[in-house]
Structure 1
Amino acid sequence: MKGFSKRLAHVQEYYFSQKLKEVAKLKAEGKNVINMGIGSPDLPPHRSVIEALNTTASSKHAHGYQGYQGIPALREAIGQFYQDHYQVRLNPDSEILPLMGSKEGIVHVSMAFLDEGDEVLIPNPGYPTYAAACKLAGAHAIAYDLKEENNWEPDFEALKALDLTKVKIMWVNYPHMPTGSRGSKELFQKIIQFGLENDVLIVNDNPYSFILENEPKSILSISGAHEIALELNSLSKTANMAGWRVGWLAGRADLIDAVLKVKSNMDSGMFLGIQRGAIAALSLGKGWYTGLNEEYQRRKMLILELASLLDLDVSKGAVGMFVWAKIKNNQSEIEFVDRLLSEKYIFITPGSIFGSNGAGYVRFSLCVPEVQIREAIERIKSI
């Protein structure tokens, strides 16, 4: 063979793909590793979601190819979800595109709008897939700073000082991963205004808007967003359906249609049973989110105790599925994480995998049962 694609030279294996091999090796050796690294919900979906899947899977008519845009009932359920929770009105026929998880949507958006040589604004720290998708599309990633002293929000004066002539996309993500900065309508207004003034497509990645957040927000609720913004969303975190791979893209019809051209060449539609389960999940009432957040709040209080025992400073007022903590005394976050894994068999995430501004920080996932968090606390107390 004549070798691999040149684009692979610019894309590394995902950190968790590598690190989980090490965790698996330790487990195979009999070590009881407590994994606090990944945001994969350990709680089950609502029983109505499972019932919808099972009922549909039992039908002999459920197993053929499905449409690339999902069944109309799913798009209508997403539209109603946006109306009920975000006060955003979407046309289910043209402004909603179901996806097999929102992660694939990041690549689809990049392939639909970027050409070689284009530039993309990527948050630092931020989800590594934004930069990876940009590079796969042949574009150039430009990191923009998010810093604790600015509440992990963009410095718009610094952004305006950049040469933006080649910038096509700006990725934003509020509530923010990994820091938990909740964002606000005022912040969204600034972001939309920046996009309009500089002809930059704004894409908000919004999977955490219900986790420990009483006022879910969508950037599409902001005046002017229809002209310049798209939003990715997902049931992975809000409905405990990460492995089901159900997400969607919402926004202006012609922008959605452009992404559909890419998507329709990448898959053959979502299994009908999963779509029916997603419809059930989208109809869950406020009681579901209240119960979910009560569980996450109990876990968070224990994680905060653990962080205190580890002599870490935790950002206050954060939301979402993680606890973001600062290491004292200028210790290396990589060494801190590796030592915790090798000595106490507790795995957490080094902040630097999310960008250079994550150096000196670590991230804990709330997707860990209370009993395991208590066990981690006892292990640290035994130091």
Structure 2
Amino acid sequence: MIISTADRLGQVKEYYFSQKLAEVRKMQAEGKDVLNLAIGSPDLPPAAAVLNRASEELYKPVNHGYQSYAGLPELKESISQWLQKVFEVKLDATSEILPLIGSKEGITHISLTFLNPGDQVLVPELCYPAYGAVAEMCGAEVIRFPLLEDNGWQPDWQYLQELDYSRIKLLWLNYPHMPTGQPADFDTLSRFVQLAKEKQVLLCHDNPYSMILPSGKPISIFSVPGAKEVALELNSMSKSFNMAGWRIGWVAGSKDYIQAILKIKSNVDSGMFKPMMLAAVEALKLGDEWFDSINKVYAQRRVKAQAIMDKLGCTYSADQQGMFVWAHIPDDVHSAEDLVERLLHENHVFITPGFIFGDKGKKYVRISLCSGVEVYEEALKRL
């Protein structure tokens, strides 16, 4: 007997990388040396001080029990201090910050907290697929708002103003933007805050890339006066601190929003591992020299990734931020998927097709900066 699955599975596709990485592993098992330039998983280790703190705490018997659903007070205080130091925004550590087992999980917590079946959710037409996928799992309808390529991937404000907001509950945004690398802009975030107040929707700003190859001073949605009334912000230790597998992130916002999310979170997990939270405290103490060191590495890799794009005849903006290079494929190439498949099976080089981020990405590809320089050089040789 086979038990039927829930109806929601009919709304959700398996994550592209889940399927494609299985294919890559199969090729590697067959002896094919596939170079993976697709995944944004930092290959560099966390700072030595972070590893040392984790190791020290690991051997303390008192650190292995269940922890608070709301996270360690020390971690919340460290996050609050870091936000003030980096973004010059002040949030109450006790009531306005909630540590998460990764910010991806936070997308689910937020959606479960605020969405009812039949609600509508606005997401950029190019974005991290989880925003829309989780909304659909909650029974909500996803509306993709246009980004204007010829205007630096800025939102189509006329489209947003003219929408019917009677059923729209959440609006997802992400600056610095993934996948296009569009940097954060104070005026853009300000217009979103004004829109949210006018239309009475909740802004959900995903902000994991602000410290990677920044084009200026990092910006938080809470840099905009009054944003706390209408916004939440997710951030993560994954990218900026090389702690992707540790699964540590947080959501910040007003006390009422955070308390509502905690009701969901407390029914989903049993808190985070204390040694990892204390190691995160150590990471949040790192200064400019840490970010300068990792960005020096990413800058060197970006030069090589751009050289690969040049070799493929792709075009790209030099102003991108984050740990990827996003580029338009040549006009004579039918689709990004065709190009990616050819590179994978003929050259054993795996890059990301842009269509996984939305239909507008069908003519785009993305290369990650999470491999050593020698890997990009080998990819260039193969091309």
Band the TM-score falls in, shorter-chain normalisation: over 0.9
Pair 268,33 (structure 1): closer, same or farther in 2 beyond 3 Å: same
Residue of structure 1 in register with 2:371 after alignment:
368
Single out whichever of 198-207 and 151-160 deviates more from structure 2.
151-160
Unpaired segments ≥5 residues, structure 1: none
Task: Classify the secondary structure of the residue corresponding to 1:232.
Answer: strand
Residue of structure 1 in register with 2:330 after alignment:
328
- Asked if the contact 1:147–1:357 (Cα under 8 Å) also holds between the matched residues in 2, the reply is no
Residue of structure 1 in register with 2:233 after alignment:
231
Deviation at 1:221, TM superposition (A): 1.1
Task: Classify the secondary structure of the residue corresponding to 1:249.
Answer: strand
Equivalent-residue separation in structure 2 for 1:96 and 1:183 (angstroms): 22
Residue of structure 2 in register with 1:131 after alignment:
132
1:102-133: CA deviation from partner (whole Å, max 9, x where unpaired): 00000000000000000000111100000011
Matched to 1:358, the amino acid is: G
Equivalent-residue separation in structure 2 for 1:319 and 1:328 (angstroms): 22
**In structure 1, which of residues 338, 341, 361 is the aligned counterpart of residue 341 of structure 2?**
338
Residue of structure 1 in register with 2:259 after alignment:
257
Deviation at 1:183, TM superposition (A): 2.2
- Asked if the contact 2:203–2:232 (Cα under 8 Å) also holds between the matched residues in 1, the reply is yes
Residue of structure 1 in register with 2:32 after alignment:
31
**1:93 and 2:94 are equivalent in the alignment:** yes
Residue of structure 2 in register with 1:160 after alignment:
161
1:275-326: CA deviation from partner (whole Å, max 9, x where unpaired): 0110011110000000110000000001111110110001221110100000
Matched to 1:226, the amino acid is: K
Deviation at 1:147, TM superposition (A): 2.9
Equivalent-residue separation in structure 1 for 2:356 and 2:151 (angstroms): 21
Equivalent-residue separation in structure 2 for 1:280 and 1:86 (angstroms): 19
Matched to 1:359, the amino acid is: K
1:116-162: CA deviation from partner (whole Å, max 9, x where unpaired): 00000011110000001101111100011113112112111111111
Equivalent-residue separation in structure 2 for 1:192 and 1:376 (angstroms): 43
Residue of structure 2 in register with 1:173 after alignment:
174
Q: TM-score, normalised by structure 1?
A: 0.98
Moved over 4 A (4+): none
**1:355 and 2:355 are equivalent in the alignment:** no
Equivalent-residue separation in structure 2 for 1:353 and 1:321 (angstroms): 17
- Asked if the contact 1:250–1:256 (Cα under 8 Å) also holds between the matched residues in 2, the reply is yes
- Asked if the contact 2:34–2:350 (Cα under 8 Å) also holds between the matched residues in 1, the reply is yes
- Asked if the contact 2:184–2:218 (Cα under 8 Å) also holds between the matched residues in 1, the reply is no
- Asked if the contact 1:145–1:357 (Cα under 8 Å) also holds between the matched residues in 2, the reply is no
Equivalent-residue separation in structure 2 for 1:369 and 1:328 (angstroms): 26
Deviation at 1:222, TM superposition (A): 0.3
Residue of structure 1 in register with 2:301 after alignment:
299
Work out the percentage of aligned pairs sharing the same amino acid: 48
Task: Classify the secondary structure of the residue corresponding to 2:204.
Answer: strand
Aligned length: 380
1:9-61: CA deviation from partner (whole Å, max 9, x where unpaired): 00010000000011001100111111011100000000011011111101011
Equivalent-residue separation in structure 1 for 2:295 and 2:128 (angstroms): 23
Equivalent-residue separation in structure 1 for 2:153 and 2:369 (angstroms): 20
Residue of structure 1 in register with 2:10 after alignment:
9
Deviation at 1:330, TM superposition (A): 4.9
Equivalent-residue separation in structure 1 for 2:317 and 2:118 (angstroms): 37
1:258-290: CA deviation from partner (whole Å, max 9, x where unpaired): 110000000000000100110011110000000
Equivalent-residue separation in structure 2 for 1:296 and 1:316 (angstroms): 14
1:208-246: CA deviation from partner (whole Å, max 9, x where unpaired): 000000421101110120110000000100000000000
Equivalent-residue separation in structure 2 for 1:44 and 1:281 (angstroms): 12
Task: Classify the secondary structure of the residue corresponding to 1:52.
Answer: helix
- Asked if the contact 1:102–1:248 (Cα under 8 Å) also holds between the matched residues in 2, the reply is yes
Q: CA RMSD in A?
A: 0.8
Task: Classify the secondary structure of the residue corresponding to 2:291.
Answer: helix
Equivalent-residue separation in structure 2 for 1:215 and 1:347 (angstroms): 33
Unpaired segments ≥5 residues, structure 2: none
Equivalent-residue separation in structure 2 for 1:263 and 1:123 (angstroms): 26
Equivalent-residue separation in structure 2 for 1:188 and 1:353 (angstroms): 25
- Asked if the contact 1:146–1:357 (Cα under 8 Å) also holds between the matched residues in 2, the reply is no
Residue of structure 2 in register with 1:121 after alignment:
122
**1:289 and 2:294 are equivalent in the alignment:** no
- Asked if the contact 1:170–1:203 (Cα under 8 Å) also holds between the matched residues in 2, the reply is yes
Matches within 5 A, 1:180-329: 180-213=181-214, 214-329=216-331
Equivalent-residue separation in structure 1 for 2:301 and 2:252 (angstroms): 32
Task: Classify the secondary structure of the residue corresponding to 2:309.
Answer: helix
Equivalent-residue separation in structure 1 for 2:135 and 2:349 (angstroms): 33
Deviation at 1:182, TM superposition (A): 0.4
